[in-house]
Structure 1
Amino acid sequence: MKTSLRWLVISSVLVGVLSACSSTDSTTSTAGSSGGDAVKAASYNAQLGVGYLQSGRLDLAKEYLDKALKYHPQSVDANHYYALLQERLKDDASATRYFAKAVHLSKTPSPELMNNYGSHLCRVGQYDKAITAFKTALRDPLYRTPEFAYTNIGVCLTRKGHPTEAISYFHQALQANEDFGLALYQLAELNYKSQDYAKAQAFWFRYRDNAPVTPESLMLCTQIGRALNDTAQVEQCTQTLLTRFPNSAEAQRLN
């Protein structure tokens, strides 16, 4: 099984929390009215930038986030969103720098910031630092989506080669949100790999009921069905894969 969906967990976390980020920058100005105007202008441009980032307009996202940082280089939000933009532009060094600056500037980093920072660290292979960031997010009692951070810890532990420990975090994600598709998928995949095919199937069905299917998830469905000699499941998932995602790598493998 490919690992691309495993990383889709992290990228989905980024997309999911952007809309939940505060529209009020956590830094303040002490430079009088002109300084206050700069802070407001930075916040306005940062929100425009992150909106364009969400919609995939990276050129406009960069334009407005550059303006935000020009108005107020110490803006936590602008640095946070600029780090996300640099990730999308595949500049990991710059993303790391801006994430670290946002965390440094914030007296109490938001759980969304720490989750995003952890997601970045996990993606570039700094698993221990990533897990620390996720756990920092989880310590905030006001964190509205802890299932993301729990799932990301599990992802990092899986990448580190500790799938048994990862499973406990995926279950904690489901305790926070029993229908959280990303954690359900992870459990389906891990149980398939450990040859507990019945349990893998049960988690896959729950995933299917709560999240959009993808080429990777349909391939996993096919693999689980074959392991259980469930010809109906194999046929259904194979046909869906070939019909809905004919150009995917998974469909090519089946062909």
Structure 2
Amino acid sequence: MRFTLIIGVMVVLLMLQGCATTESQNSSRANNSASSQGASKKELENKKADRRLALAIEYLRQGNYDWAKMNLEKAKEHAPKRADIQYAFGYYYQTVGEYELAEEYFLKSIKIDPNQPEVYNNYGTFLCDRGRFEEAEENFLKAVSIKSYTNAGQAFENLAFCSLKAKKEEEANFYFSKALDHNPRLLKTLTHLVNQSILKEDYKSAREYMRDYERATPHSPGSLFAAWTIEVKLDNQRGAATYEEMLMSRFPDSPQAQQLQQIKNQLR
């Protein structure tokens, strides 16, 4: 009897274990299914947010600010905690001149994801435009300190021009040099350095920067006139003649071509 009872208890335990295993498997499957559904829903919401965000940015580019704002609000409904959406709100408010709100959203974006070099770069530009130069520098340097950042040259360029606004020419030149170290094809930096060297009558440096400019992009009327000026000042008649011919043949109706012709007429 006792043996039979033990057997009976063992059978019940085994049955309960089987039930528990089955229930556990069912529960696990249910949890996995719920988790999968949750992930799918989140993915779907993110895709909807992506579409709204893309529309908002396009409307901003077109100057259709009401529609941009509406689509940003829709994007935020789908993904309220996404850093890029918070940043887009900041850019929107900056564009329409609501600077306090713009800064609020820039900081929200950084708080959600502090590893966004492009946001630091753009926030630095925002601060520089407000005359907050030290804070701007701090954010530009945060941007370039992130090793994954592929646009460090642009951030250094922005920092250099910001330093010029702050009347810190020595710092600006240091950051221009850093910008070109990261990206030797930065046309805004090269153009500035050519013009700055000409103004300082440092024509040898101007020639070097002009060579870098020529490697980066085709000539414009302005750059050809600058190149001609440099070679004239360096008493390189052959080089000056080459740039003169290029300017007159490629851009004969440009103001620079007319100015060069006036200079030559005065020298006769």
TM-score by length of 2: 0.63
- Seq. identity, %: 27
Q: Secondary structure at 1:136's aligned position in 2?
A: helix
**Distance in 1, Cα, partners of 2:97 & 2:218:** 26
Q: How does 1:143-222 map to 2 (within 5 A)?
A: 143-211=149-217
Distance in 1 of aligned mates of 2:86 and 2:126: 14
Deviation digits for residues 121-145 of structure 1, max 9, x if unmatched?
1222221111111111111111112
Q: How many angstroms does 1:41 deviate by?
A: 2.6
Query: Aligned equivalents of 1:243 and 1:92: distance in 2?
Result: 43
- Output the aligned Cα RMSD: 3.7
Tell me which residue corresponds to 1:65: 72
Closer/same/farther in 2, CA of residues 185 and 39 from structure 1, 3 Å limit: same
Confirm or deny that 1:41 pairs with 2:54. Answer: no
* 1:221–1:237 CA contact under 8 A, matched in 2: no
Task: Rate the CA distance shift 1:144–1:104 in 2: closer, same or farther, 3 A.
Answer: same
Matched residue type, 1:43:
D
Question: Which residue of the partner structure matches residue 82 of structure 1?
Answer: 89
Q: Structure 1's 192 and 94: CA in aligned 2 closer, same or farther, altered over 3 A?
A: farther
Contact 1:171 1:183 in 2 (8 A): no
CA change 1:69–1:124 in 2 (3 A) is same
Q: What aligned pairs does 1:101-112 form with structure 2 within 5 A after superposition?
A: 101-106=108-113, 108-112=114-118
Shift of 1:90: 4.3
Structure 2, unpaired ranges of 5+: 1-37, 263-268
- Read off the aligned partner of 1:58 and give its amino acid letter: G
Say whether the 8 Å CA contact 1:163–1:190 is kept in structure 2: no
Report the equivalent of 1:98: 105
Q: Structure 1 residues 35 and 243, CA, compared in 2 at 3 Å: closer, same or farther?
A: farther
The whole-number CA distance in structure 2 between the counterparts of 1:160 and 1:238 is 39
Q: Distance in 2 between matches of 1:95 and 1:214?
A: 37
Equivalent residue in structure 2 for 1:140, among 142, 146, 149: 146
Q: Who wins on radius of gyration, i.e. which is larger?
A: 2
- Residue identity matched to 1:176: H
Residues in 2 aligned to 1:33 and 1:200: alpha-carbon distance in whole angstroms: 58
Instruction: Structure 1 unaligned segments of length 5 or more: list them.
Output: 1-31
Indicate the structure whose relative CO is greater, using CA pairs within 8 Å and at least 6 residues apart: 1
Alignment size in residue pairs: 217
C-alpha spacing 1:190/1:76, structure 2 compared with 1 (3 Å): same
